[in-house]
Structure 1
Amino acid sequence: MASGSNRTKEQRRQDRSRRMVIVLCTLSLVLLGQGLLSGPSPAQEDKAVQEIKAVVKKIQARYEQTKDLQADFAQKTRVEGFATPITSSGRLFLKRPGRLRWDYVEPNREEIYVNQDDVKMYVPEHSQVLIGKLTQMAASQAPLQLLQGIGKIDEEFNVAPAPNHARGAGGLPLVVLTPKTKDQQAARPFQQIVLEADPKTHYIKSLTLHELSGNVATFEFSSVKPNTGLQDGLFDFTAPAGTEVVRAPSFRAP
């Protein structure tokens, strides 16, 4: 009985850690990416690709002007083999350079803190905090580089229109990002990201993450507030007395 309980507890730790890596990779690779896209001249591209690249440039330009940001999020995850999706919601906070806080509020409280390469995930329900290094957990330097503002989306991803040139509710074309090489795919727990931008602000309105496992997680962002002067203390975490400290596992693709 004890060994079964230990396996269950360890599995919960791994599930939370893997979710944390997915969230961090997604935000760092997309929301905080730097550098405009390069590639063939417009004359060598069809109109759909030109339109997609124009949207991505506007997204990047918007985030390059953003020193800090806060927003609400709603997450829906379709798990392979299960009919009912898992839903959750909360609030996120970003601050350049390299600070992130991601709070799950419903259905259970969890708090994720990132300061450069240091990651902490606090789970009050279990009086537990997972700690680790972003580069070790993601098996790549890319998330840290992009959190620090030195990465480029065009160096990490192929950018393409969605199948059938699908568009979001606001009318802009959906953007599909896929890792450029198999090595990059192996370094991340996802195979592609689909973005929808707000047509008025060009902040990301929704983000759909297709994991290698077959799971699909969709994040909807709302109440986006940029450049409000978030204080550094918002991103600091001190574990309450009696909190168990657990080293988060490193993930490597098989």
Structure 2
Amino acid sequence: MTSRLFASRRLSLWTLGAALALPCLLQTAPAFAGGVEKLKSFLESTHTLRADFSQTVTTRSGRKPQVTTGQLLLSRPGKFRWDQQKPYPQLLVGDGEKIWLYDPELKQVTVKKFTQALSGTPAALLAGDNNVEKRFTLTDLGERDGLAWVEAVPKQTDGGFERIRLGFAGDTLRAMELTDSFGQTTSLTFPKLERNPSLPPATFRFTPPPGADVAGE
């Protein structure tokens, strides 16, 4: 039951949930640079990140999309905090060793090993190290809707995501599209972004609240 809960309520980033996955201001890249070059520039030049996000999840059945909002924080490599605030609170914290998922409504904490939980996820792509091509196959997709797109396909298929697409306008990451193994498409936008802010170490630590049911490793 715990594994089903973690899968059904996981956050698509960082579902990274995921994992995981930011608009990010990058160092200036040549005008001719494609999506792959822009992604590599982002990974090389971004060490910490704070961004508001809006996430829309559309199921394979096409039912009314679910929209969530919150804040994402990164400290590369390996640490992130995905703080979903609406329509219901959820918190996903990666401390470099473990992934903590806290659901205040259920008063439940699920914990997994960092490497096991992140393989092939958006979090592995955006919060991982700079050697992205070790974990993903990258392909330039050209331009669509005024953005330069790159597709990242996980080389390991156990992370729950089939592909991750990132769209850049100039040197700014504007959009992400995530397709998971459940047939869901997650679209992310970042209306407010601060790149390389100073983030205290406590941002990426998690202690289960008193009375919470802790499941996992």
State the TM-score, normalized to the length of structure 1.
0.70
Structure 2 CA distance for partners of 1:140 and 1:107, relative to 1, 3 Å: closer
Structure 2 CA distance for partners of 1:221 and 1:142, relative to 1, 3 Å: closer
Partner of 1:14: 7
Partner of 1:58: 38
Q: 1:135 aligns with which of 100, 108, 115?
A: 115
Partner of 2:29: none
Q: 1:93 aligns with which of 73, 79, 82?
A: 73
CA distance in 2, matches of 1:80, 1:243: 33
CA distance in 2, matches of 1:10, 1:187: 14
Structure 2 gap segments, 5+ residues each: 25-31
Q: 2:144 aligns with which of 152, 163, 167?
A: 167
More helix by share: 1
Higher RCO structure, 1 or 2 (CA under 8 Å, sep 6+): 2
Partner of 1:42: none
Partner of 1:34: none
Provide the aligned length of Structure 1 versus Structure 2. Answer: 209
Which residue identity does 1:94 align to in structure 2?
A: L
Matches within 5 A, 1:48-87: 54-87=34-67
CA distance in 2, matches of 1:229, 1:18: 25
Q: 1:227 aligns with which of 189, 196, 199?
A: 196
Structure 2 CA distance for partners of 1:157 and 1:68, relative to 1, 3 Å: same
Q: Is 1:27 matched with 2:7? A: no
Shift of 1:185: 5.1
Partner of 1:251: none
CA distance in 1, matches of 2:58, 2:125: 30
Matches within 5 A, 1:150-161: 150-153=130-133, 156-161=136-141
CA contact (8 A) 1:142 1:151 kept: no
More strand by share: 2
Fraction of identical pairs, as percent:
24
State the TM-score, normalized to the length of structure 2.
0.81
Question: 1:151-192, CA deviations, whole angstroms, 9 ceiling, x for partnerless residues?
Answer: 23376213131xxx5423xx332222334xxxx352331222
Partner of 1:215: 184
CA contact (8 A) 1:67 1:96 kept: yes
Partner of 1:47: none
Residue 92 of structure 2 aligns to a residue in which SS? strand
Q: 1:111 aligns with which of 77, 87, 91?
A: 91
RMSD: 3.1
